Chain A
């Protein structure tokens, strides 16, 4: 069975450009999460989806960041007018349910997309 996949694995862009980062979760997983991991830091929560809807987007840093999951499976994180400070590894994860405190459920992480803004 395939795990969580993310494309591209690396993305280099210029300041001011628009980028899209894609996440393919494990099939059948209801919940999908986006995190950002800067160098030397732990993952920082951005947003999570339950099905097609964003259940909590409180971690999105500003309105340049937007994420969608139109069919409840694949998700795209969109960043407009990129800034050098957006450079980081963007991680996606999925889980069967929303209850990560359950003894039977956990998040499965993808390998990440490394975004570099020049």
Chain B
């Protein structure tokens, strides 16, 4: 079965600092990978997704993620954190038999220090 593991349930960075949220996947077949964000009192929304077209994927709000097969990783980064980036971030992968069944990680809460 496919799964993702998010390292660190809580990450805190200073405003303007690099954001790095870690995600490792487990898959016996080439995966499709996603990052979602959940702002306080808002619904989940897609940040970006990897669909094998390019290993470096750019998303909304200045975020990007790089697919590294050798490391089975799909870490999310942003060069300079903004206060508005404070939210819960979820890494996700499609299920083995379906492009419609999304398996989510446990999430990482990102806090931004002024």
Contacts and interface: CB of A to CB of B under 8 A. Distances in A.
A joins B in a complex: yes
Interface of A: 3-4, 31, 33, 35, 40-45, 48, 55-56, 58-59, 91, 93, 95, 98-103, 106-112
B45 to A, nearest CB: 7
Given A42-B90, A101-B51, A107 B106 contact: no
Chain B interface helix/strand/loop/mixed? loop
A112 B88 CA distance: 15
A3 B106 contact: no
B103 interface: yes
Which of B42, B44, B95 neighbours the largest number of chain A CB atoms within 10 Å of its CB?
Answer: B44
Chain A interface helix/strand/loop/mixed? loop
Interface of B: 9, 32, 34, 41-46, 49, 51, 53, 90, 92, 94-95, 98-107
Nearest to A4: B43
A34 B48 CA distance: 21
B99 A100 contact: yes
B50 to A, nearest CB: 9
A100 B102 contact: yes
Contact of A44 (B43, B49, B104): B104
B51 A107 contact: no
A109 B101 contact: no
B107 A42 contact: yes
A98 B102 CA distance: 11
Instruction: Please list the 9 inter-chain residue pairs (A to B) with the smallest Cβ-Cβ separation, ordered nearest first.
Output: A42-B104, A109-B43, A109-B44, A101-B32, A101-B99, A98-B100, A106-B46, A43-B104, A99-B99
Contacts of B92: 42
Contacts of B100: 31, 33, 48, 55-56, 95, 98-100
